[in-house]
Structure 1
Amino acid sequence: MAIGLLALAGCATAPRTDSLPADPRAAWTQRQQALSQQPAWRMTGKLSVQTPEEGWFAGVGWEQRGEHFQIDMRDSFGRVVARIQGDDRRVMLTRHDGSTARAASPETLTRQLFGWALPVSGLRYWVRGLPGAQVDSKALAATRKLDVRGRLKHLEQSGWSVDYQAYQDAEPIALPGKIAVTGHDLRVKLIVETWEMPDVSAQWR
């Protein structure tokens, strides 16, 4: 299945004028609690996947409601060429021609179709600036790096290295704008253009 090529644009972030937190670790704890309590969100952006043999580029729209998700892959004309949807028990991919494929997880599905496993289960958390659900707290603490505002700058989990290269001042909370994920012979880059997360209180910004 071919996905249309898209030119990846940089992620601009306006300078912040508010004061820095006195304790970045305390600010991180507050952010983590607030974001973890948000079951529904939506983002759009651009996704690239680089393997030793090939590169994939697409526009992406991701909507999450609890365990249920829908990810749309778009070509350079904005047309949906593939849709991955499901929950923690089953996943289905629908191609632009109406054909479908099913698996127990998005990782299994993408490996079957493309020969590599896109870490959707981890990206669900990483894209919001959170560690994944299955986390060794000691191992996370050893590899986690925070910025001066108490936001994730780097983490390592399940063989993946996640780097946060930019944040957006999305309302009501600053969320990742550019993420690079490497591991398992993959290099994944995600540039977020828009965020919708309406229920997070502005006090956690």
Structure 2
Amino acid sequence: MRGLLLAALAAGVLAACATTVPRAPLPPAEREAAVARQASREEALAQQPDWNLQGRVALSNGQRGGSGRIDWRQDGAAFQVALSAPITRQSWRIEGDAGSARLQGLDGGPRSGPDAARLLREATGWDIPVQALASWVRGARAARGGPAQLQFSADGRLAGLQQDGWTLDYGDWRPSAVPGLELPMRISAQRDSARVRLVVDEWSGDGASP
């Protein structure tokens, strides 16, 4: 894993996920309507548990950073996340479900554990909340997470989410195959010095872009 990621964050990914401009809060009535729409979105997303995304990801953790291609497949609670660095031709894959995870592609062979995020942190030093991100990347609160705070842009779309110490920012919403359901193409997640920035090139599967 340490050899997988490039020495510096990819300029294209970083430019696509630039620092978010502070947002003015919506008037109470508009915010109430936006919260209601978000709840309806999350109900609709829960009915579309199987999906895929392909895109570009940039990671940083203190003084370390890197980037690569990402392919994420979600089948209900089960997941497979593959990250590859085209220049070095190295890759790793983590797969599992709510109670187990297996990480492949490291020196010394595969490693397993009960929690994907802990396994990644202990094996690689990267802080990536895999199970919560399965909800967050689609613009939804993690059902198994703690209380969340929501921020909305002037048009009522979800612009930010705070949950379990992580701050998420969203941008470039696109229509999906489900009428009235949009998906974000740019997501940034940050907690302390850990940061995950994602640019989605394609959604596919249930509820994906047509």
Q: TM-score, normalised by structure 2?
A: 0.78
2:82 paired with 1:76: no
Matched residues in 2 for 1:167 and 1:191: separation?
12
CA–CA separation in structure 1 for the residues paired with 2:49 and 2:187: 21
Q: 1:31 aligns with which of 33, 41, 54?
A: 41
Match of 1:131 among 129, 141, 144: 141
Q: How does 1:32-71 map to 2 (within 5 A)?
A: 32-71=42-81
User: Partner letter of residue 134 of structure 2?
Assistant: R
Residue range with higher mean Cα deviation, 75-84 or 178-187? 75-84
Deviations 1:78-133 (A, max 9, x none): 95611111111111111177921111111111111122321111111000000111
Query: What's 2:22 paired with?
Result: none
Show the 5 A alignment for 1:109-148.
Answer: 109-136=119-146, 139-140=147-148, 143-148=149-154
Overall identity of the aligned pairs, in %: 30
Q: Which amino acid aligns with 1:3?
A: L
- Residue of 8, 12, 18 corresponding to 1:8: 12
SS in 1 for 2:142: coil
**Aligned-partner Cα distance in 1 for 2:196–2:57:** 7
Number of the residue aligned with 2:188: 180
- SS in structure 1 opposite 2:138? coil
Are the counterparts in 2 of residues 28 and 150 from structure 1 also a CA contact under 8 Å? no
Query: Which of 82, 85, 101 is the aligned partner of 2:111?
Result: 101
Q: In the aligned structure 1, how far is the partner of 2:11 from the partner of 2:108? A: 27
Instruction: Note the C-alpha offset of 1:148.
Output: 4.8
AA partner of residue 145 (structure 1)? Q
| TM-score where L is the length of structure 1 | 0.80
How much is the aligned-residue C-alpha RMSD, in angstroms?
2.7
Query: Is the 1:24–1:147 contact (alpha carbons within 8 Å) kept by the matching residues of 2?
Result: no
Q: Size of the alignment, in residue pairs?
A: 188
- Give 1:147 deviation, angstroms: 3.2
CA shift in 2, pair 1:145/1:131, >3 Å: same
5+ unaligned residues in a row in structure 1: which ranges?
12-22
Q: Which SS does the other structure have where 1:123 is aligned?
A: helix
- Aligned equivalent of 1:155: 161
SS at match of 2:131: helix
> Cα distance 1:91–1:4, how it changes in 2: closer, same or farther (>3 A)?
same
1:164 aligns with 170
For residue 189 of structure 1, the aligned residue among 178, 197, 201 is 197
Instruction: Tell me the SS of whatever aligns to 2:4.
Output: coil
How far apart are the structure 1 equivalents of 2:155 and 2:44?
15
What are structure 2's unaligned runs of at least 5 residues?
A: 17-32
How many angstroms does 1:52 deviate by?
1.2
